[in-house]
Structure 1
Amino acid sequence: MTFSTAAVSSSSHFPSIAEIKRILVERIDVQRQSVGIVVGTFGPEGRVIVSHGNFGAYYARPVDADTAFEIGSITKVFTTLVLAEMAGRGEIGLDDPVAMHLPATVHMPTRAGREITLTDLATHTSGLPRLPENMAPADDDNPYADYSVEQMYAFLSAYELPRDIGSQYEYSNLGMGLLGHVLARRAGTSYGALVRERILAPLNMRSTADTPAVYMKSRLANGHDDQLMPVLNWDLPTLAGAGALLSTADDMMNFVEMLVDARTSPLREALATTLSIRRPADAGDDETGLGWVISGSGDDQIIWHNGGTGGYRSYLGFMPAKGVGVVALSNTSTEAGVDDIGRHLLDSRNPLAEPPRERVAITLDPAIYDRYVGIYRLAPEFEIAITREGAGLFAQATGQGRLEIFAENETRFFLKVVNAQITFDVGADGRATGLTLHQNGTDQKAPRAEA
């Protein structure tokens, strides 16, 4: 456990260091939902960093404030902050068509006479899918590593938008990766160098980078899957703006301090820009700023983003009205993750996640599986294909590998490699009419997409 030398007020917004430590011990040692977690909090009482656990399942070095983690999709708020910073300098326009900043040989999709703008990318309302359909990784454990700029250009040039631009929120790693690519092209540098110059250097974030750089490798925690087994780090050479950054709790607290109190920061105006542009998101009353998810209103408003890669989970959130912020980093990609810890620390009314129960597979007549085989559409460009092979049933989501699913009863199945479940909705004849995907605390319905 590490913490700052800042004085801690007895009226702290946050639980005590001992209580935060108890939460981490419970999550790691009892629930076995991570190998190592580091949490940072910041508010009027100062900065506090609490840690528990180790670098790896086979590496008993304690994690601490200087341990590096992949932060996954939290990268997106750095990408959109660069966009706002460049717009503030007049180098780029928020409403510039994306095509303006790409080679003339790339034909960006249009619809109803409207072009996709940089703001459309930054708010996930471009109409582009979550992932490009021509993404076929050679290694599912490092899925973005071999996706090239040329492949991205080819996909964009051939893609037809399924709906009007700006009409609907659809979270898109492709869109945010494209945004990072466009900004780097406009600046004449790499994505990593651009983020370092415009964001990291002004905030003195010296341990944040877009690759496991040599100086960081000795401080990089091993990533783990939900079985607590070591996995590879991810490489995102083309779609870096969607999730390439690695960072430490200490560095991320520099970022949190800027978010909570940007009055003297050179990024104050850029941050305000990312929060002032609002479009509806896809969950309840949530809105999206440029990159940010904005939940609630008034004193209870939380502005946040999370992240997940093959071996890590992360959460970043702050409450502007209360002047407090949190970051939580885990070196394990489990369903429990650290989102609930971050939300709970920001507002104690948000409960901690219940520990996952052990699921037991039962044996069914494989002929039952034939009723479920088909394509199920979760979003316009995101489907789950259910297939049968012998006595096994398999699910394959768009752009992902095929995974076996196991029966808990005749209609409810679960995956072993990730904490997700599928329930089939069946008609009078027993044939599936749709399914519900239970994952990350949400239930997503997907009707059957074929006759």
Structure 2
Amino acid sequence: MIRKTAYAMLLLLAAGLGVKGQSSHQDSVQKKIALVEKNLIGLIQTEGQQPWTIQERMAHYKVNGVTVAVIRNYKMEWAKGYGWADAGKRIPVTAQILFQAASISKSLNAVGVLKLVQDGKLDADKDINQYLTTWKFPYDTVARGKIINTKNLLSHTAGLTVHGFGGYSHKDTLPTIVQILNGTKPANSDAVRSMFEPGLRSEYSGGGTTITQLMVMDITHQPYDKYMYQQVLKPLGMTGSTYTQPPVNTKAGILATGYRNDGAELEGKYNIYPEEAPAGLWTNPTDLAKYIIETQLAYQGKSSKVLNQAFTRLRLTPYMDKSAALGVFINDFEGTKYFEHGGANEGFRCQYFGSLEGGNGVVVMVNSDEGAINNEIINSVAKVYNFKGLYRSKIYKTAIVDSAVLQTYVGKYEMRPGFNLMITREGNKLYGQATGQARLDLFAEAQNKFYLKVAPVEIEFIKNEKGEVITCRIYQGGVNDAKRIE
């Protein structure tokens, strides 16, 4: 009897320790959430600049809603929403609210396409026209006799046109996929055709991804959204997500409303994207975390809910390019590799990162045309969780440059034929404006070197032996010289 009582006491003690341990973990997570919420910092910061809170940046950018998920050690650590999914109706953002994933759709699309390859229904190295039955890609002399394969389409190395899509209002007649590919009415985008020969280099093409949508339909004889739900979303546990455009069978108030830069509501609340493969996914960070974790586990050979290890590694291997893999981009930050993708639909912006090793990641989605807050939140998460390489903020010192010196930089600089950079001055401020783009403030870090605060871009003015400014050197993912022409 004494032994039984002692054993029972041990069980109770163990249970108590378990509850205490669980409570302690939750307390730790809540503390980290609080730290993330008050340590936002941009990709560019000036010396001595203090971090912002998420509420301050939402107000600054006029962003109505934000939703975040953090992945740690192959598990979702937490997911949380901020602000309004619909400001007018006062519907708050929760972890279940669906946002448009925009080009993140391409990542899940690649999983679905490679599932066909894994199942032996598609050879990713053969001519795509072998699998297209309702439409054929019209090769011309631009392709130089080279074929386009599925890997080309998924890695943007097919040399095709049409970067992205603007979507359609609820009043518009929606085009078929063939009409979109041919650029015929009621499609509002150009025809998807060869820009240069396939396999030459990576050139982002949502048009190419749309071809894979038709390939899936022609091979499976199913609607694209149905195939993707049954073969990709459901097995991944992403049961709240959908590629259906417009969404049907969704609960009232579950879809976030899109907003412009000034906070104005998008007409009709959101646009419709029949280009489902490159832009049509409705999801949330909680569901995207499931995709990221499965990718990480499959990469290690520890899971195969959709793709096995071999095909997961294929998907995460750059193809004919240093970073463009199949539906994802691979970045090496300080020796840590991440697979990632961003997205930009009308009224929505989003970004995710997942580490190839260690099981870490983050997803941020906003219902706004202004997506700068995404990088600021990612920086905060990376700093709080010590995600190696993902904290990407450069600190600049500020220099004072005399207006007379600034005036010597004013002029027109040719970046390439027909694309110029205009440098102007107002008082002690210098501005840069590229052809067809907005005017941006230039901030001095030295007497002849400036930087942008909105993007990791630096500009240096080069003089000749006579002391005349002849070149504007632009540092943005490389070095590009623009010759002064005026």
TM over 0.5: yes
**In the TM superposition, what whole-angstrom CA distance separates every residue of 1:168-207 from its partner, at most 9, and x where no partner exists?**
1111111112222222222112221121111011122221
SS at match of 2:77: strand
- Find out whether 1:29 has 2:62 as its counterpart: no
Alignment: residue pair count? 407
Pick from 263, 267, 271 the counterpart of residue 306 of structure 2.
267
- Specify the alignment match of 1:206 in structure 2: 239
The 3 A distance-change label for structure 1 pair 169 and 138 is closer
For 1:157 and 1:67, the matched residues in 2 are separated by 33
Q: 1:192 to 1:447 in 2, by over 3 A?
A: farther
**Pick from 157, 176, 187: which aligns with 1:125?**
157
CA distance in 1, matches of 2:421, 2:329: 32
Match of 2:290 in 1: 254
Distance in 1, matches of 2:393 and 2:176, equals 35
Letter of the 1:332 partner, please give it. Answer: S
**Cα displacement (A) at 1:82:** 0.7
Following the alignment from structure 1 to structure 2, what is the Cα–Cα distance between the partners of residues 432 and 281?
A: 36
* Equivalent residue, structure 1, for 2:342: 306
Per-residue Cα deviation, 1:145-188 (whole angstroms, up to 9, x for no partner): 66862252366686452xx4212111111111222222222211
Contact 1:98 1:108 in 2 (8 A): no
Q: Provide the identity percentage.
A: 17
CA distance in 2, matches of 1:86, 1:257: 21
Say which of 173, 194, 198 aligns to 2:227. Answer: 194
Q: Shift in Å at residue 321 of structure 1?
A: 1.7
- CA separation in 2, counterparts of 1:95 and 1:301? 26
- Structure 1 stretch displaced more, 258-267 or 112-121: 258-267
Gaps of 5+ in 2: 1-20, 41-50, 184-189, 396-410, 423-431, 444-453
In 2 relative to 1, CA 100–426 (structure 1 residues): closer, same or farther, beyond 3 Å? farther
Looking at structure 2, the residues matched to 138 and 325 of structure 1 have their Cα atoms a distance apart, in angstroms, of 29
Task: Decide whether aligned partners of structure 1 residues 139 and 435 sit closer, same or farther in structure 2, where only a CA change above 3 A counts.
Answer: farther
2:58 is the counterpart of 1:18: no
Deviation at 1:445, TM superposition (A): 5.5
Look up the match of 2:44. none
Give the structure-2-normalised TM-score.
Answer: 0.66
- The answer as to 2:132 corresponding to 1:94 is no
1:248–1:372 distance in 2 versus 1, CA, 3 Å = same
3-state secondary structure, aligned to 1:288: coil
Max Rg structure: 2
2:260 and 2:64 map into 1 onto residues whose CA distance is 10
Alpha-carbon displacement from aligned partner over 1:334-385 (angstroms, at most 9, x marks no partner): 2414145336257265446699xxxxxxxxxxxxxxx8699956xxxxx869
State the TM-score, normalizing by the size of structure 1: 0.71
Show CA shifts across 1:49-84 (max 9, x none): 133222244343321111111111111111110111
Candidates 269, 272, 275, aligned match of 1:235 = 272
Partner of 2:387: 347
The C-alpha deviation readout for 1:235-262, integer Å capped at 9, x for no partner, is: 2214x21111110233223223312324
Deviation at 1:143, TM superposition (A): 11
1:360 aligns to what? none
| Matching residue's letter, 1:275 | R
Q: Which residue of 2 aligns with 1:329?
A: 365
Correspondence list, 1:211-230, <5 A: 211-214=245-248, 215-230=250-265
In structure 2, the CA distance between the partners of 1:62 and 1:127, relative to structure 1 (3 Å rule), is same
Q: CA deviation at 1:89?
A: 0.6
Aligned position for 1:315: 351
Change in CA separation of 1:301 and 1:90 when aligned onto 2, cut-off 3 Å: same
After superposition, the Cα gap between the structure-2 partners of 1:144 and 1:279, relative to the gap in structure 1 and judged at 3 Å, is: farther
Name 1:367's counterpart in structure 2: none
User: Once the two structures are superposed, what CA deviation does each residue of 1:59-116 show, in whole Å capped at 9, x if it has no partner?
Assistant: 4332111111111111111111011111111111111212222346642346343201
Cα distance change of structure 1 residues 28 and 212 upon mapping to structure 2, 3 Å threshold: farther
Q: For the structure 1 residues 148 and 374, does the alpha-carbon distance in structure 2 shift closer, same or farther, using more than 3 Å as the test?
A: farther
- Distance in structure 1 (CA, Å) of the matches to 2:420 and 2:137: 31
The residue that corresponds to 1:55 in the other structure is: 85
Long gaps (5+) in structure 1: 1-5, 356-370, 378-382, 388-392, 397-401, 410-417
Report the 3-state secondary structure (helix = DSSP H, G, I; strand = E; otherwise coil) of the residue aligned with 1:316: strand
- The one-letter code matched in structure 2 to 1:226 is N
Work out the CA distance in 2 between the residues paired with 1:142 and 1:275.
43
1:150 maps to amino acid: Q
Secondary structure of 2:227's counterpart equals helix
Letter in 1 for 2:32: S
Query: Within 1, Cα distance between the matches of 2:475 and 2:36?
Result: 32
> 1:343-422 alignment to 2 at 5 Å?
344=382, 347=387, 350-351=390-391, 405=439
Residue of structure 1 equivalent to 2:426: none
